[in-house]
Amino acid sequence: MAKANDKFDALKDKAAGKTKETAGKATNDESTELKGKAQKKKGDLKDKAADLKDKAAEKINEMLDRDDDEK
C-alpha cells in the first residue's frame, strides 16, 4: 500500500487546488482559478503515482517470492 504520506500529500494538493479554483471563480480571478485547477491536477497525478508505486512493489515482491520458491 502506498505510504500514507504520499496519499495525504496528494489529498492536500487536491483540496488546496479546489479551494483556489473556487476562490478564483468567486472573485472572477482567472489566474487563481487556473492555479487551483493546476494544483488539483498535480494532486491527481501524485495519487496515480502512489498507486503505481504500490502496483510495482506488489509485482516485484511476487517475482521475488517466486524466485525464492524455486530455490
The pLDDT assigned to 71 comes to 62
First to last CA, the chain: 28
Contacts of 69 (CB under 8 A, 6+ apart): none
Mean pLDDT (the chain) is: 92
**Cell triple for 6:** 504520499
How is residue 28 annotated by DSSP?
Answer: T
At position 5, the amino acid (one-letter code) is N
Handedness of CA 64, 66, 69, 71 (dihedral sign): negative
Across the range 9-18, mean pLDDT stands at 97
- What would the pLDDT profile of 22-50 be if each residue is shown by its tens digit? 999 999 999 999 999 999 999 999 999 99
pTM: 0.79
Domain ranges for the chain: 4-70
> Average pLDDT of 50-58?
93
Q: Mean of the pLDDT values across residues 39-63?
A: 95
